[in-house]
Structure 1
Amino acid sequence: MNQRPEPTAPLAFITGASSGIGQALAMRYALAGFRLALLARRTTELQAWVDEQGWDKDRCGVYHADVADVNSIAAAGKACLAQQGVPDVVIANAGISVGMDTTERADIDVMAKTFATNNIGLAATFHPFVAPMTARGSGSLVGMASVAAIRGLPGHGAYCASKAAVVAYCESLRGELRASGVKVVTLLPGYVDTPLTQENRYAMPFLLSAQAFAEKAFRAIEVQTSYRVIPWQMGVVAKLLRLLPNGLFDRALAGRARKHRQGEGR
């Protein structure tokens, strides 16, 4: 993996790249010959992984930012522009998933943090790149939503609502940029085997490895699809659930284990 890309190789900017889906996407884009701009809060771990791959600074830039901090993520984007140029692909992958109980005051703060990361952070990730991509007339902005956006699940109020907002926001942005040459891609992962999902206390049908998801996501982004559920089987399940009358849906989920709350074990 120490092969140096061409100086004119395309650039992929990926948040949440220190583990899970973000790291798998970074590897997939590297295999495709892209230069990389990788962002994470845990930059020590990320840099160690980058070093393991044998990637020098010409191949991969590492940036520190807290996606929930607008100034932090915007500054990282501007640093990428200054050091590596305008990306061809920006993947707003960083996100959090924590259960909540509205009766608990502390969980309202969890919801605020979830929206700060999954929604405000996503928009702030895109912000530095919209104008230069538009000026160039090309590029892809990729928002990472979830099949959890399609129906609200008990105990998942913050996460489901935030991912539904990702879908709506990306749809709005897609319309705004329609004539610019910049494409907006919305990806909705089903269950992917990452440190985030390994804490779940319920069945996860059609579970994908992070590498398998990254391959499917790469293909969807390459063809600039506007909306893609991965894997497709979860898309079918989600649409069927969407069609269920509320009464049947509520009964179907009765007794389902709730998402773990902050501080709870598996």
Structure 2
Amino acid sequence: MAGAAPRVDSRQPPLVFITGASSGIGQALARRFHAAGWRLALVARRAEETAAWARAQGLAEGTWAVYAADVRQTTDIVAAGKACIAQQGLPDVVIANAGISIGMDSAIEADLEVMRATLETNNLGMAATFHPFIAPMCERRSGTLVGIASVAAIRGLPGHGAYCASKAAVVSYCESLRGDCRPFGVKVVTVAPGYIDTPLTQRNPYSMPFLMSPDDFADRAYEAIKDGVSYRVIPWQMGVVAKLMRILPNGLFDRLVAGRGRKPRQGS
């Protein structure tokens, strides 16, 4: 762990716990929350690199900490959550942002491992991220758990089988968890990004309508999380597209996506 903060008291600013904080959306969310006066608990596999980024951003020591963990390793991410509680206190917001997006072809046996890695990261990793915080948040009767889904959850796209399946599972999982937590005053927010200009999307060989910067996304996500909405597509234009995609008859949808560029496979 790098940049550890001391044990907190109730007079300190609120705390947000963010996985996948080493790049892209995770870093943008960290910047946005810090600008709003929040303390940060940042989780990344590249802990020292993330700590160096925090210092380069000029984030004051004592307002942030970095925890090294790979969300695919449930014992590691659960331990990171428990360490956060011990060192910084129980967060007010937990954002399960860590995720991967790799193209796959189910006719290729090696790509079955791509699906395994995607589901372990995007789904099991999310549940393991939330796990250490659920019981204490429910006991406190406050807190917000945030799952980062995707508009790719709406319909299955050719070459995106693992990613689309994982993000559809995020939506359903968070909906289920919302029902579990609501009686205890704990909110569950699902944020579904459209196309955000991050390393995950920069290799996509197809058009990406309404592409937005990570910082613009973070601004809108911050407001959604602060308002405690149950589900939000960002940007809103992609929400309209998603609803139209959902109601398209299968035959028409299949014709529309025929010939669309496929997500690059691992190593391609």
Answer yes or no: same fold by TM over 0.5. Answer: yes
Among all aligned residue pairs of Structure 1 and Structure 2, give the percentage whose two residues are the same amino acid: 67
- Does residue 1:29 correspond to 2:30, yes or no? no
Residue type matched to 1:240 in 2?
L
- Does residue 1:120 correspond to 2:116, yes or no? no
- Structure 1 position 74, deviation (Å): 0.3
Aligned ranges 1:47-86 → 2 under 5 Å? 47-86=51-90
Aligned ranges 1:193-232 → 2 under 5 Å? 193-232=197-236
Aligned ranges 1:78-157 → 2 under 5 Å? 78-157=82-161
Unaligned 5+ segments in structure 1 are none
Residue type matched to 1:100 in 2?
M
SS of 2:100's partner is coil
- Structure 1 position 36, deviation (Å): 0.4
Superposed CA RMSD: 1.4
- Structure 1 position 7, deviation (Å): 5.0
Runs of 4+ in structure 1 displaced over 3 angstroms? 4-7
Corresponding residue pairs, total: 261
SS of 1:101's partner is coil
User: What is the CA deviation profile of residues 107-159 of structure 1, one whole-angstrom value per residue up to 9, with x for unaligned ones?
Assistant: 00000000000000000000000011111110100000000000000000000
- Structure 1 position 55, deviation (Å): 2.8
- Structure 1 position 57, deviation (Å): 4.2
Residue type matched to 2:174 in 1?
C
Question: Normalising by the residue count of structure 1, what TM-score does the alignment of the two structures yield?
Answer: 0.96
- In the other structure, the counterpart of 1:41 is 45
- Does residue 1:12 correspond to 2:11, yes or no? no
Unaligned 5+ segments in structure 2 are none
Give the Cα–Cα distance (whole angstroms) in 2 for the partners of residues 24 and 175 of structure 1: 29
- In the other structure, the counterpart of 2:238 is 234
Give the Cα–Cα distance (whole angstroms) in 2 for the partners of residues 230 and 252 of structure 1: 23
- Structure 1 position 53, deviation (Å): 2.3
User: What is the CA deviation profile of residues 165-205 of structure 1, one whole-angstrom value per residue up to 9, with x for unaligned ones?
Assistant: 00000000000111101000000000000011001110000
SS of 1:105's partner is coil
- In the other structure, the counterpart of 2:174 is 170
- In the other structure, the counterpart of 2:165 is 161
Give the Cα–Cα distance (whole angstroms) in 2 for the partners of residues 88 and 254 of structure 1: 44
Give the Cα–Cα distance (whole angstroms) in 2 for the partners of residues 108 and 76 of structure 1: 29
- Structure 1 position 241, deviation (Å): 1.0
Give the Cα–Cα distance (whole angstroms) in 2 for the partners of residues 110 and 227 of structure 1: 28
SS of 1:29's partner is helix
Question: Normalising by the residue count of structure 2, what TM-score does the alignment of the two structures yield?
Answer: 0.95
Give the Cα–Cα distance (whole angstroms) in 2 for the partners of residues 215 and 41 of structure 1: 25
